[in-house]
A and B are shown apart, each in its own frame.
Chain A
Amino acid sequence: MSSDLGTLLRPVRTPLVIAGALQVVSALAGLVPFLAIAELGRILLGGSGDPWSAVIWAIGGLLTRLITIAVANAVTHIADAELQHDIRTRIARHLARVPLGWFTERSSGEIKKAAQDDVGAMHHLVGHAVNDLVAAVVTPIAALGYLFWVDWRLTLLILAVLPLFLGSYAVLMRGYPEKMTQYTAALTRINTAVVEFVQGIAVVKTFGQARKAHGRFRTAADDFAVFFGAWATSMTRVEAFASALISPAVMLLVSLGGGVWFVSAGWLAPADVLPFVLLGVGLTGPVLALGFGANSLRQARAAAERVAGLLAVEPLPVSARPAAPADNRIVFAGVGFSYDGRVDVLTDIDVVLEPGTVTALVGPSGSGKSTLAALVPRFFDVTSGTITVGGADVRDIAPADLYRQVGFVFQDVRLLRASLHDNIALARPGAGADEVIAAATAARIHDRILELPDGYDTVVGEGAHLSGGEAQRVSIARAVLADAPILVLDEATAFADPESEAAIQDALSGLIAGRTLLVIAHRLHTIAGADQILVLDGGRIAEQGTHETLLAAGGRYASLWNASSMEVAR
């Protein structure tokens, strides 16, 4: 864990060292005014020396402290801002490389928490921890050294409260890491529940109790409060005691009371009480600040641990010596796949997709159609066997090359909150306006875009509220512009929006011409003309052939076809 932290913090090590050094100067300079006033006391009570030089020392000390502390803080905070940005960028880059399956196991709320909240929580670690720590160590040590020099017996008396404090603090820290983990988990649950609550608000409104928050959100909030309440109650009793013990008032009583005692016993000159009253009281201040900060520090460390954990997620391996596909021929050889390692979703898939042909995947829900299609663009890696494109294993092809080769039109369209131009030019960010317009025109969406307030510059979700069919045509325009020779297509897209079916179908017909096509089919008659039809059942290829040969065989496909023909006839 500490090595994770070390790695994360490496970029800011130099600024942290500089800040630490400045903080040492600042802590020492901070003691000077106190010494000067003690000296002033001696002088004014009849000692020798110039009172004004003590004043100058005091002011000089104050100024030095002010400057060094300001610079140290500025240095750490600038480093912190840089580091946060650096880590967030690294997280974003890393997310783009982890297997897609990783995302289905997690809510986007969790990912958001790591990239935003956790990185933000590290602020204390970089911005304050070093400064606070140095101050908390250097100030008391230097002050104690001086006080020992003045009178070691009274110093020991003042220190007597420390073991009590440390003892209660040790009690406080028992079981802390476990509690902290629970705390974070409870907070994450709230995060997840609220995202779900807000995204599913329509369901909450109609099915939940009227005007009551979503049950899961309430449960998460209550759990958090109950947990935190129990924890805080047990902790604050001790913590408040410990803090009271080293509070300035108690320290004042010990220093002053001790001073009176020592003077009356004749162990100490009256003027020598001054340093103890001045420094003894402030001895615990930085320690107290450290205590206040300790909570933030632990949270920061826990956050850093989670961030490091996220960055440590194994990315989808990329070949060191990438192979280039020779053509558009796709070969599945003995492919097997399982999402969880428990249940095989695909078993022994052997099939060849010749360039320029259409292959349709047919079968009931859960037969593995969508999974099979998702393996070609390497959304997941096969569990066994290989998939090659143009003779190269998809795992050996550089991702950029693979995606240039394979396009994908999904059933559930996702448009980005970006301009329509950027949405269509997703695969080719540098595409010109004319190319984007040509693609939109081919996808039968150009006219609709022109109706939007800012045309192609309208931002989806802000100025543009597109219907399902319109969004689908934007996604087809994307594929047109991407112009990948291999296309994986969900046939359902053709029927995404019944009111614009004809337009979508025209757009699709234009898109698929001349490409190698892998189609997830739901309606058999749509793909009856395919070059090859694969009937999947339970993750295996049950039948394979053209519409005619499969009908003639009189197997599963034939009975599906007969059932669907009756549907159409009705």
Chain B
Amino acid sequence: MIRRLSRVLGAPYARPLRMHLAGLIVYAILQGLAFVLIVPVLRPLLRGDVDAALPWVAVLAGTVVACAAAYWIQAQLGYRLGTALSQALHHRIGDHLAALPLGWFTPARVGRVARMSSTGVVDIMGVPAHLLAPLVTSYVTPAVVVFAMIFLDWRLAVATLVAVPLVILVFRWTARLFAATDHAVDAAGVEAANRVVEFAQNQAVLRAHGRSDFDQLEAALLEQRAAGRKQLLRAVPGLAAAGLVVQALVTIVLITGVYLATSGPTVDAAALIALLVLTVRFAEPLMAAAELGAAVRMAGNSLARVDELLATPVLPEPATAGTFTTPGTIELDGVGFGYDSRPVLRDVSLRVPARSVTALVGASGSGKTTVVRLVARFFDTRTGVVRVGGADVRDLTTEQLMSQISVVFQDVYLFDAGIADNIRAGRADATDAEVAAAAALARVDEIADRLPDGYDTRVGEGGARLSGGERQRISIARAILKDAPIVLLDEATAALDQDNEAAITAALTALSRDRTLLVIAHRLRTVQSADQIVVLADGGVAESGTHEELLLRNGQYAHFWNERSRARGWRLTPA
């Protein structure tokens, strides 16, 4: 576990960790020595020879002072390590998450990651701060005592040593019992946490359908209880056995000692009693070790989960930066891709010249969004090549690629911060004037004017307090502020009211000026005015050309156009 801790923390923390461990071991050995010194002090004392005991008391005093000092130092080191650890873990988890392919982020993982970075990290922080010290002392101190016993009275030492392997075995077994059930407990906890989030986020829907209950949440909670019970049922016998074994050890030593004392004058009664005192004293930390070992294992499981996350492969990154031969262009060449075994794109080839608008059109599931994601390299292609600015996206560093493109998503996710903060996410170092200018171009100023706190109005989790059209306008302002040469745009599908429709048209006009635009077009006007329309079907490009050319061809696009035009005339109720 210490090896894993060291790996998860990374090289900079290897030294502090070793220092802390060294401090701990020194402390534990000194404590063991202090206990061993009971014997030379007690032996003469019990015979009434105070003068022989006095020098040993002095030795004991020295050892105890050193021991207390060692304790203080290791505690400081441990806490410092624990604190450094929280920061290091959060950063490593966060940076790794940002580099993982987008496909990794399934809804179930949100709860998992949240748990890992809150309670999980706190669990691990506690290892050096609270757990390691008692754990190390409860093993090392008794070991020192047993070792010293060999020299003090070999027969009692043998009696102790006989029991030691048994103690170790039972402790291991107990810890393993805990660890095994801990996975189930953790999994149940994650599922329940996910269901609670789902339950909270879906309150409106659930209530509108008269559901105050949520079977899935109840089931998850029941499962959580069952997992907890199961852990209990399996852990209790383990703990009891551990306790029993330690007591058996004490009993064996006790019986052996009394047998030796009563069977003849071969043993010094004073020495024997001193050793018995030592035995009962050192048995107690062993008992504690059984319980602590389990707690450490549980923290170890948290650590293992972080380790596992950090071991998830990220999108490979080239060592050297690539070069752009044709800035502002996008090219897909024979691209194939699927999220699972089912291919979404089989063979897609298309070219978007610099400073032109290309509209992607096709039925749902035809892979329009996938094309955009591949250009932004949220995923890597299975076959074929995606080029941005003439360079294979896999040859570009993330910085390079992201400096070329802005993305305006359909499901715009806004952070629960002010409107201005959300726009500034496009370029962190933008001045207030630049933010205001981008906001005005995307007509976000109208939204801010309407809200009580203007640009500082918090938008709610995910932007929940704004309408879809408003969210998209903020996201367009963000892209304008970023000012990348290529814009990937997934138009909002939700119908827009007059205001939003006009505002977004204006915002898109501002955005597409001097930029390359690849757009998943939902508004007929965007499609119609595009320089190039690409119709996707069956994992490939069915048709491409301008609006007029495609209408004349009377193929899929013409059919799509006619359907859409008819749908536009739909009325909820006949007039």
Given contacts A45-B269, A225-B86, A281-B281, contact A73 B236 (CB under 8 A): yes
A residues near B86, Cβ cutoff 8 Å: 221, 224-225, 228
Residue of A nearest to B89 (CB): A221
A residues near B90, Cβ cutoff 8 Å: 190, 213, 217-218, 221-222, 224-225
Per DSSP, are chain B's interface residues mostly helix, strand or loop, or mixed?
Answer: helix
Q: Assess whether A500 is interfacial by the CB under 8 Å rule.
A: yes
Given contacts A225-B87, A225-B90, A411-B468, contact A364 B273 (CB under 8 A): no
Q: Which of B264-307 contact A (CB under 8 A)?
A: 269-270, 272-273, 276-277, 280-281, 284
**A59 CB, nearest partner CB in chain B, Å:** 5
Q: How far is the CA of A250 from the CA of B30 in the complex (A)?
A: 12
Contact A78–B72 (Cβ < 8 Å): no
Q: How far is the CA of A547 from the CA of B42 in the complex (A)?
A: 105
Q: Assess whether B500 is interfacial by the CB under 8 Å rule.
A: yes
Contact A282–B284 (Cβ < 8 Å): yes
**B541 CB, nearest partner CB in chain A, Å:** 17
State which of A41, A239, A416, A499 has its C-beta within 8 Å of the C-beta of B363.
Answer: A499
Q: Which of B374-421 contact A (CB under 8 A)?
A: 376, 378, 397-399, 402, 405-407, 409-410, 413-417
Contact B276–A92 (Cβ < 8 Å): no
Q: Assess whether B20 is interfacial by the CB under 8 Å rule.
A: no
Contact B415–A200 (Cβ < 8 Å): yes
Contact B397–A210 (Cβ < 8 Å): yes
Q: How far is the CA of A419 from the CA of B447 in the complex (A)?
A: 39
Q: Which of A40-63 contact B (CB under 8 A)?
A: 40-41, 44-45, 51-52, 54-55, 58-59, 62-63
Given contacts A377-B207, A478-B209, contact A194 B378 (CB under 8 A): no
Contact A365–B469 (Cβ < 8 Å): yes
**B315 CB, nearest partner CB in chain A, Å:** 9
Contact pattern, A 181-217, Cβ under 8 Å of B = 1, otherwise 0: 0000001001110111111111111111111111111
Q: Assess whether A298 is interfacial by the CB under 8 Å rule.
A: no
Contact pattern, B 320-346, Cβ under 8 Å of A = 1, otherwise 0: 000000000000000000010000000
| Size class of the contact patch on chain B | 35 or more
A residues near B34, Cβ cutoff 8 Å: 248-249, 252-253
Contact B469–A244 (Cβ < 8 Å): no
Given contacts A78-B232, A212-B98, contact A109 B497 (CB under 8 A): no
**A63 CB, nearest partner CB in chain B, Å:** 7
B residues near A496, Cβ cutoff 8 Å: 493-495
**B22 CB, nearest partner CB in chain A, Å:** 17
Q: How far is the CA of A357 from the CA of B211 in the complex (A)?
A: 27
Contact A236–B493 (Cβ < 8 Å): no
Q: How far is the CA of A201 from the CA of B525 in the complex (A)?
A: 30
Q: Assess whether B151 is interfacial by the CB under 8 Å rule.
A: no
Contact A253–B60 (Cβ < 8 Å): yes
A residues near B161, Cβ cutoff 8 Å: none
Residue of B nearest to A232 (CB): B79
State which of A70, A343, A502 has its C-beta within 8 Å of the C-beta of B239.
Answer: A70
A residues near B47, Cβ cutoff 8 Å: 270
Contact A33–B461 (Cβ < 8 Å): no
Given contacts A70-B240, A196-B415, A343-B452, contact A365 B467 (CB under 8 A): yes
Q: Assess whether A243 is interfacial by the CB under 8 Å rule.
A: yes
Contact B225–A278 (Cβ < 8 Å): no
Among listed A7-15, A80-88, A382-390, A433-441, interface-contacting one: A80-88
8 shortest interchain CB distances as A-B pairs: A213-B94, A403-B210, A221-B90, A210-B398, A467-B364, A225-B87, A240-B75, A495-B495
User: In the complex, given contacts A45-B46, A243-B75, A411-B494, what are 13 additional A-B residue pairs having Cβ atoms less than 8 angstroms apart?
Assistant: A44-B273, A55-B258, A88-B221, A108-B201, A111-B196, A199-B462, A206-B407, A207-B482, A233-B83, A273-B45, A365-B447, A403-B208, A498-B567
What are 17 A-B interface contacts by the 8 Å CB criterion?
Answer: A78-B232, A88-B221, A96-B211, A100-B207, A197-B97, A200-B413, A214-B94, A221-B90, A225-B83, A228-B83, A247-B31, A256-B42, A260-B53, A364-B497, A414-B201, A416-B202, A522-B497
